[in-house]
Amino acid sequence: MLLAIAGVSACSVAGRAAAPPPVTVSPSENPSQSPGAVPSEGTPSPTPSPSGTEKPSAPPFSAQVTKVTRDQVRYSWRPGCPVEVSDLRMITMPHWGFDGKIHTGRLVVNKDVADDVVSVFKKLYGYRFPIRKMEPVDAYKGSDYDSIDAGNTSAFNCRSATGSTSWSEHAYGRALDLNPRENPYIYADGSNAHRNADAYVKRPLHKPGVINPGDRVVRAFAAIGWGWGGYWSGAKDLQHFSKSGR
């Protein structure tokens, strides 16, 4: 079990108040980089603020992993799903938002990948990679379409794979969709189902929250053995990461 500490609330820095303890990260996870930017190799220089001072340090990352109750997956789980409710875990953890503030998010995943998922989001937190929102798909009554349309990052949902009658990896809690508005599902003909994602179809695209081939987000998931849907042939699922790669 990972750190059993409640999610971190947004941190503000005013005047000359002392900064909170810094996040300990490796050079490749330097939190001073701009959200969503593609880093250069080596240790980047701190990004100055408009006043000429360095960006304030962020509170240390912490996550809480807890068992999931039936009521928490009222819409996303049903009898006949390929996993039991007892196989699922709720991860509560901090993430950076597009507003430059820290928010608390929640993901439901399979218990056997919970630690790995926490390790990836710790890296994203260190990068200050912005996430629009992160809440279980039950907040959208189990609607994958509505969750994606809202730009919501989510994981478990007992549903079939897109265009298939077979279970999606989401139904096992071993897949997640990250910033689906900025990283849409692109059909083989180049179209997508969400008009609010039209500006994010092309790759590479260097905007906040966007995932590009070979970038540090893709590498962070690759480090735990998860594949990216942006590498699929034909249709590409730019938001999708999964343990199986599908």
Tens-digit pLDDT profile for residues 124-183: 999 999 999 999 999 999 999 999 999 999 999 999 887 778 899 999 999 999 999 999
**Measured at the alpha carbon of residue 79, what is the angle toward residues 77 and 83, in degrees to the nearest 5?**
65
Q: Which of 134, 141, 132, 188 is nearest to 162 (CA)?
A: 188
DSSP secondary structure, 41-76, as one string: SSPPPPPBPTTSSBPPPPPPP--EEEEPPGGGGTTT
Distance CA 96, CA 196 (A): 21
Q: What is the predicted pLDDT for the residue at 200?
A: 97
Q: Is the pLDDT of residue 26 over 70?
A: no
Instruction: Please name the helix (run of DSSP H) or strand (run of DSSP E) that holds residue 216, with its range, or none.
Output: helix 216-222
What is the distance between the alpha carbons of residues 112 and 40, in angstroms, rounded to a whole number?
Answer: 33
The more confident residue out of 7 and 106 is: 106
**Kind plus residue range of the DSSP H or E element containing 123:** helix 114-127
Residues ≥6 apart with Cβ < 8 Å to 245:
226, 227, 228
CA gap 98, 209 in Å, rounded: 8
Give the pLDDT confidence score for residue 116 in this predicted structure.
Answer: 98
d(CA 159, CA 157): 6
- Per-residue pLDDT at 7 exceeds 60: no
Give the model confidence (pLDDT) of 141-150 as tens digits. Answer: 999 999 999 9
107, pLDDT greater than 80: yes
pTM of the model: 0.77
Residues 6+ apart with CB under 8 A from 219: none
3-state secondary structure of 153: strand
**% of the chain beyond a pLDDT of 90:** 72
Please report the pLDDT score of residue 57 as a whole number. 83
Phi then psi dihedrals of residue 95, to 5 deg: -150, 155
Q: What is the per-residue pLDDT across 36-91, written as a single tens digit (0 to 9) for each? A: 443 433 333 444 444 555 667 889 999 999 999 999 999 999 999 999 999 999 99
Residue 227 pLDDT > 80: yes
Q: What is the mean pLDDT of the chain?
A: 84
Radius of gyration of the chain (CA): 18
Q: Which of 31-45, 71-85, 208-222, 223-237 has the lowest mean pLDDT?
A: 31-45
